[in-house]
Amino acid sequence: MDRAASDVSPQPVRLQDYAPPAHLIDTVELTVEIGDDWTKVRSVLRGRRNPAAGPGPAPIELDGQDQQLLSVTLDGRRLTEADFALESERLVLPAVDGAFEVTVEGRIRPQDNTALEGLYRSGGLYCTQCEPEGFRRITYYPDRPDVMAVFTVRIEAEKDRYPVLLANGNRIEAGNLPLGRHYAVWHDPFRKPAYLFAMVAGDLGCVEDRYVTRSGREVALRIYVDHGNEARTGHAMESLKRSMRWDEDVYGFEYDLDIFMIVAVSAFNMGAMENKGLNIFNDKFILADPSTATDGDFQRIEGIVAHEYFHNWTGNRITCRDWFQLSLKEGLTVFRDQEFSADTHDRGVKRVADARLLRTVQFPEDAGPTAHPIRPDTYIEINNFYTVTIYEKGAEVVRMIHTLLGAEGYRKGIDLYVERHDGEAVTCDDFVVAMEDATGSDLSGLRLWYAQAGTPTVTARWRHDPASRRLDLTLSQSVPPTPGQPSKQPMPIPIRTALIGRNGGALPLRIAGDRSVAGETERVLVLDRPSMTVSFEDVAPGAVPSLLRDSAPRSSSTPPGPRTTWRSWRRRTTIRSDAGKPCSRCRPGRCWPWSRGCATAGRWRSTPGWWRPSGQVSAMTA
């Protein structure tokens, strides 16, 4: 039984149309028999009616593409073609109102899978890529991230050609079969969506190590590579162990399976994929020869290994309800891998690298025809939304939450998020609510960052009155229109602020009408309106505001400040152009020494070349 061809044009998928699945799948027993011509797949799905989808019976709808259906059994009864509907990309079975068991048998040709989604063969290796919707190319299944099940997978293949058989979880059985074949059975006890399914069959070399968790459990670590590449995996293995230790120390996240595996082969079509317990990489992100690899090579490998490992808790144990929530797992995990690299190496250098990526790639994307919020409201092809906006800008939104709540408040929020949602598929709103509830904070305004595209421009002006020793700082913002969003609301922007005295040191802050910050030298101001003015009292002459100290993703119009790592890097890698002239109120000795601008009038905008009194903004200040 072959699927009917589809002549229907792709239709937009809209966030507002989300509906919970009619049925949930509790367990999957999957058998994959690899053959020379065809690969046979048998799946046993045990599920039930989803009470969140409403009362009464509903048809069982299973997604499927590019496979030949052989048979379908529902609750022990083999169905005839009159009992079900086989559509172009869907198999519809009779309605049920309770628990059910469906057995689907089919066959596929991985060697012909040029989409490189689902199970495909490249050279002598079978491997998978199922995110976002590749599992439907393996077997008929409700292929959506909010359907989470416990998988048991049996793989059978010719032993001489495919001695390595891998899948998610822990291996619970293996043995030989007649005719020179063998099998392996893998069981993953943790519920996961189908996009995290993975399997590999091939002839690979293996490097082994071990890691002992803080609770004393021993975890086997294995990196599988093409034969001859084993000696180049040392840095990746050490990076993995550092990542595991950091996640325990900083987040309290301990690895949960008996084995963690990485398969790194040139045949893999993606960069890297966080499949539960079985990460699959293109080998350029794992292999490094110490005699030829650069510092950048080592840093890139460490960062990507960490990112995929960190997904074990932020992406796998807790995943996204639908693909509109992609930044829930990717933005949070990018922030985590950025912080890991910052803690492991130099924080300032790492921040410079992240800011450069935002300025050179994400800012132009946010200002162009493909601008989109980190949680888009519609798509036709979800693969088009694996962007720097979803990933890197999404990470900056998490960084803003960290800035607003502080390290301790952020950790409380993470703990509550995991306590509430472990084993669930959730939304960006669920994440923000956990942060609010854990700290008693109101982050309602921050939700605008999830829905509104564009990079805000922040302008700062200040004036100091020597007689009253009062400094008035006026902050304003504007957000340019983007496709589909011609009118913008002001974004809530946390701005970490300090006042720098003539000696280069930060001064104690006294904000008019707010004595809670007496003695502090930094304060996070939240610019959540078009413009606001904050008055500082008892400010010595010559003091200058230092703004946007590790704050939000935006084009900055900030005054020159102390030589932070970012500012120092920027001054050393740009050419001075038009340093500006003092205004008419300036007197000798009153202007900032390295910018020749007016510290008295205090009106500054930034340019790619240098600090000057006015100009086009395009800077990221950290």
Q: Report, in angstroms and rounded to the nearest whole number, the Rg of the chain calculated over CA atoms.
A: 28
> In a 10 Å sphere around its CB, with 0-12 CB exposed, 13-18 middle and 19+ buried, how is residue 220 labelled?
middle
Angle between helices 347-357 and 326-344 (to 10 degrees): 140
What does the alpha-carbon distance between residue 182 and residue 157 come to, in Å, rounded to a whole number?
Answer: 6
Query: Within a 13 Å sphere around the CA of 142, how many CA atoms are in the beta-carbon half?
Result: 29
Which of 421, 473, 430 lies closest to 599 in space, CA to CA? 473
In this structure, the chain runs to a length of 622
Please provide residue 562's backbone torsions phi and psi, each rounded to the nearest 5 degrees: -65, 160
Helical H segments across 483-604, by residue range: 565-572
> C-alpha 439: how far from its chain's center?
24
Q: In what order do the strands lie in the sheet with 278-282?
A: 205-212, 218-225, 259-265, 278-282, 272-273
Cβ-proximal residues to 251 (8 Å cutoff; 6+ apart), any chain: 313, 336, 411, 414
The residue to which tokens 């796998």 are assigned: 316
Burial class, 210, CB count within 10 angstroms (exposed 0-12 / middle 13-18 / buried 19+): exposed
DSSP character at residue 461: E
Catalytic residues: 308
Integer Cα distance of 355 and 259 in angstroms? 36
Task: Name, in order, each residue with C-beta under 8 angstroms of 44's C-beta and a sequence gap of 6 or more.
Answer: 28, 29, 30, 101, 102, 103
Q: Which residues of 572-603 are buried (b: 16+ CB within 10 A; e: fewer)?
A: eeeeeeeebebeeebeeeebbeebbbbbbbbb
Q: Which two tokens stand for residue 36?
A: 């020379």
Rounded Cα gap, residues 390 and 330, in angstroms: 7
Q: Are 599 and 583 in contact (CB under 8 A)?
A: no
Q: How far apart are CA 95 and CA 79, in angstroms?
A: 13
Element (H, E) at 209: strand 205-212
| Angstrom distances, CA of residue 236 to CA of 129, 201, 241, 598 | 21, 22, 9, 51
- The rounded distance, in Å, linking the Cα atoms of 372 and 356 is 20
Instruction: Copy the structure tokens of residue 388.
Output: 């720097």
Q: Buried b / exposed e across 18-33, counting CB within 10 Å, b at 16+? A: eebbbbbbeebbbbbb
* H-helix or E-strand spanning residue 435: helix 428-439
Please state, in angstroms and rounded to a whole number, the distance separating the CA atoms of residues 50 and 590. 70
Under 8 Å between Cβ of 199 and 166:
yes
